[in-house]
Structure 1
């Protein structure tokens, strides 16, 4: 019988910039709850931040490695592929891949690059008229 600790798990990380005001992260927390309800119980859904908030991505990955997570998908919750998503985040993933070669890392495009997301935002904007 396989125990939870022995079971290889997958993690989905909602990665955001971070802000000084903790209320800034409230929509991300709601998103985490929505996603958690829709994915398999074997998928751990977390949030991590580039700066100003915790946990940082390296802090979270260290924790997930202790939980025997074998695959991590990082979804940047950014509207576009700016400098943080084009440069900083890939460098961070490269370093984490070197630090934890037993973990398979996948970096998704910025969420705002997805056509469905853009359509949903457009619908909300139009609804304001």
Structure 2
């Protein structure tokens, strides 16, 4: 039986990107929280534009390191044009480039019930 690499699975937090590098701060904090958990998967950031790495670059690096399952998590509030058009094309291209790696795409983080609940709670606490 082949040994499974310690980080055979990875999460890629995917964001739009911005010219101001501080924009990525919240994504870096999400990554740090994920990595702080016991038995954390490998976690990388990737961006559509302005900040590197791009999604294809991040996935190629993960595959080269032995990762065989990648969950791409869009850190967007909602499913807009980039997530409906650009991201599926990037995912499909990465799947073709790395057929031995299972690449899955999650819904926009902001559409998950637990994220909506957290934002609602935050908004409610803004009155205090």
Identify whether the pair has TM-score above 0.5, normalized to the shorter chain.
Answer: yes
Per the alignment, residue 107 of structure 1 pairs with 105
Q: What is the 5 A alignment of 1:1-129?
A: 7=5, 9-38=8-37, 40-41=39-40, 43-129=41-127
Q: 2: CA distance between counterparts of 1:36 and 1:73?
A: 15
Q: 2: CA distance between counterparts of 1:73 and 1:106?
A: 5
1:39 shift after superposition: 5.5
Q: Secondary structure at the match of 1:69?
A: coil
Q: Unaligned regions of 5+ residues in structure 1, if any?
A: none
Q: Unaligned regions of 5+ residues in structure 2, if any?
A: none
- What do residues 13-57 of structure 1 show as CA deviations (whole Å, max 9, x unaligned)? 00000000011111110110001112624x211110010101101
Q: 2: CA distance between counterparts of 1:28 and 1:69?
A: 21
Compute the RMSD of aligned alpha carbons: 1.5
TM-score, normalised via structure 2 length: 0.92
Residue 111 to residue 19, structure 1, CA distance change in 2 (3 Å) = same
TM-score, normalised via structure 1 length: 0.91
